[in-house]
Amino acid sequence: MDPVTASIVISAPRERVFDYLQDIANHPEFTDHYLVDWHLTRIDSIGRGAGARFRVKAPGNRFSWADVTFSEVERPHRIVEVGRTGKSNRIRTVGVYELAVAEAGATRVRFTLQTSPVTISDRIMEGLGAKAWLRRNNQRAMRRLRGILEQDEGRGASPESRGQRVTVAGG
- Could you tell me the residue range of the domain that residue 128 belongs to? 4-161
Position 140 in a domain: yes
- Output the domain CATH number for residue 28: 3.30.530.20
Q: Model confidence over 152-170: pLDDT tens digits?
A: 766 555 444 445 567 776 6
Cβ 40 vs Cβ 51: under 8 Å: yes
| Cβ-contact 69, 12 below 8 angstroms | no
Determine which of 40-44, 86-90, 100-104 has the lowest per-residue pLDDT on average.
86-90
The answer to whether residue 167 sits within a structural domain is: no
Is residue 170 included in any domain, yes or no?
A: no
Residue 168 within any structural domain of the chain: no
In the chain, the percentage of residues whose pLDDT exceeds 70 is 86
CA pair distance 149, 109, nearest whole angstrom: 12
pLDDT at residue number 9? 97
In a domain, 63, yes or no: yes
Q: State how far the Cα of 10 lies from the Cα of 114, in Å rounded to an integer.
A: 23
pLDDT at 83 (0 to 100): 96
Q: What residues pair up with 54 in beta bridges, in sequence order?
A: 66
User: Is residue 1 a contact partner of residue 115, using CB atoms and an 8 Å limit?
Assistant: yes
Res 171: pLDDT: 52
Count how many domains the chain has: 1
Residue 169 lies in a domain: no
Q: Is residue 80 part of a domain?
A: yes
Helix (H, G, I), strand (E, B) or coil at 24: helix
